[in-house]
Chains A and B, each alone.
Chain A
């Protein structure tokens, strides 16, 4: 049974599994930390939440357009390569 396994497929699947677990844990812990910092009913917390909401709303994408375009390009390339896997 194990002789039919492709080593590269094993490596790729293992890498994907570890990176997925790492990403989920990192995002979850970060979100929990932010929630703990922002939670509360005192006026300072309310002011902090309001100010953060204002900062989020006033983000301008024009200064970040270069980075966003590059990310879009690499994402499209990844999708194409993934699609090519089904054709080869």
Chain B
């Protein structure tokens, strides 16, 4: 689990200036530097993670844009200084609310990243267990086939040796016949 957590990308740090993130406002323009150490299995989950992060950024940017929009409206220039001060106070309170919301959004984003990382680790562990199980079955089948081949080899050797023995027996019989014939010929024709 530790080695997987090392390869996870760190959650993005909050920006210094509150407000909508220009990179997040344009979907697809913020590249995620995902380390693809395990391109095979991580590619699917990495794409899913990127999609969820981008979705979160879009939601946060839209929310912040709506909150900032009233404060960014131009004020008429002929207002009095008190009105300007009041507007400044309103603007400051708006920025405070935006900062609080931004901090909360960042915390939620970090929690979501952690949750996704934990889930990815769980899925990876399950996939690893499944692969180990498949490898164990393949190894077991290889051992079984090897044992069958060994038994077939022994049976074939025993069969060949039996054939050789039968050939030798008949050769000995013919040799005995030849010996008897030679002996009889020597006895009768001398």
Residues of A within 8 A of B (CB): 6, 8, 12, 15, 55, 58-59, 63-64, 67-68, 70-71, 74-75, 77-78, 81-82, 84-85, 88
Contacts and interface: CB of A to CB of B under 8 A. Distances in A.
A33 B36 CA distance: 51
A61 to B, nearest CB: 9
Given A8-B178, A88-B183, A74 B168 contact: yes
Contact of B175 (A58, A59, A63, A82): A82
B175 A8 contact: no
Interface of B: 149-150, 153-154, 157-158, 161-162, 164-165, 168-169, 171-172, 174-176, 178-179, 181-183, 185-186
25 contacts: A8-B178, A8-B181, A12-B174, A55-B153, A58-B150, A59-B157, A64-B154, A64-B158, A67-B161, A67-B162, A67-B165, A68-B161, A70-B165, A71-B161, A71-B168, A74-B172, A78-B171, A78-B175, A81-B172, A81-B175, A84-B179, A85-B175, A85-B179, A88-B182, A88-B183
B109 to A, nearest CB: 50
Nearest to B161: A67
Given A12-B174, A59-B157, 19 more contacts: A8-B178, A55-B149, A55-B150, A55-B153, A63-B154, A64-B154, A64-B157, A67-B161, A67-B165, A71-B161, A71-B164, A71-B165, A74-B168, A74-B169, A81-B176, A82-B175, A84-B179, A88-B179, A88-B183
Secondary structure at the A interface, as helix, strand, loop or mixed, is helix
A78 B157 contact: no
B178 A12 contact: yes
A73 B150 CA distance: 28
B168 A81 contact: no
Contacts of B172: 74, 77-78, 81
A15 B165 CA distance: 19
Contacts of A64: 154, 157-158, 161
A10 B84 CA distance: 137
B182 A85 contact: yes
